[in-house]
């Protein structure tokens, strides 16, 4: 789908999204539960049907569709894309060969393969904090975080609600070198995003970190397909 990147260092840029299904985490506030929540464990309590939500496609068909959008940036999201990174390689190689910039949104729990890193894609890594509802052993994988921290151009994006969450971010930064830091307010409708953004802004600036809103929520709310 064609839209704009709503978060992080490329916010506002025209792009096309590739959204994959399946995730190894179960964040209660996830804004794309239809990509993985088949049992209704999320805040909405809705159990989605993978037969309705997911559609297998040859990577060559995906490539043809993406090239047809004529945008400079391709964002691969999920779910958790790196659970399928080997399958992604031919598509991403073709996109970079065609001159596209590629960003991968990942939760930072899967070590990226060397072949993927060599393509020069940007990893937007979003390690999950305790308010996600997942146990720390599932959501924080030290080897993966250190691997991402060693890749040039990686951005680390943390979803936060209150300034107390920033202390948790600081521990991860100190322990695993997850820099540069982007703090993003949690929220699926503009009012929630605005409330958390206001609560976080001063402290984020004081810590010397970057602040990002959720542009797509400000424009389209919680509508799917954007």
Per-residue CA distances from 9 to 40, 103, 142, 159 (Å): 32, 11, 24, 15
- Beta bridge partner(s), residue 122: 103
Q: Which one, of 54, 30, 24, lies nearest residue 42 by Cα?
A: 30
Binding-site residues for S-adenosyl-L-methionine:
29-31, 79, 126-128
Binding-site residues for Mg(2+):
32
Binding-site residues for substrate:
4-6, 19, 77
Region of residue 122 (left: phi > 0; alpha: psi -120 to 50; beta: else): beta
Q: Which one, of 217, 225, 190, lies nearest residue 3 by Cα?
A: 225
Binding-site residues:
4-6, 19, 23, 27, 29-32, 77, 79, 126-128
- Beta bridge partner(s), residue 106: 125
Binding-site residues for [4Fe-4S] cluster:
23, 27, 30
CB under 8 Å to 211, separation ≥6 — which residues?
Answer: 182, 183, 197, 200, 201, 204, 205
DSSP state, residue 38 = S
């Amino acid at each position: 789908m064609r839209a704009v990147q709503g978060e992080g260092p490329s916010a506002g840029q025209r792009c096309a999204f590739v959204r994959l299904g399946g995730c190894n985490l179960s964040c209660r506030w996830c804004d794309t539960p239809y990509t993985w929540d088949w049992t209704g464990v999320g805040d909405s309590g809705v159990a989605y049907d993978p037969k309705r939500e997911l559609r297998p496609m040859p990577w060559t068909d995906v490539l043809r569709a993406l090239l047809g959008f004529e945008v400079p940036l391709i964002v691969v999201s999920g779910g958790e894309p790196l659970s399928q990174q080997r399958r992604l390689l031919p598509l991403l190689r073709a996109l970079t060969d065609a001159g596209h910039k590629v960003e991968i949104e990942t939760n930072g729990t899967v070590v990226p393969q060397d072949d993927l890193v060599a393509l020069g894609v940007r990893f937007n890594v979003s390690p999950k904090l305790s308010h996600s509802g997942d146990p720390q052993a599932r959501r924080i994988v030290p080897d993966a975080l250190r691997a991402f921290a060693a890749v040039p151009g990686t951005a680390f994006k943390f979803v936060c609600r209150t300034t107390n969450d920033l202390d948790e971010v600081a521990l991860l930064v100190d322990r695993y070198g997850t820099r540069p830091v982007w703090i993003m307010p949690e929220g699926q409708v503009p009012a929630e995003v605005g409330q958390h953004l206001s609560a976080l802004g001063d402290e984020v600036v004081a810590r010397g970190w970057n602040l990002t809103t959720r542009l797509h929520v400000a424009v389209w709310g919680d509508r799917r397909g954007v």
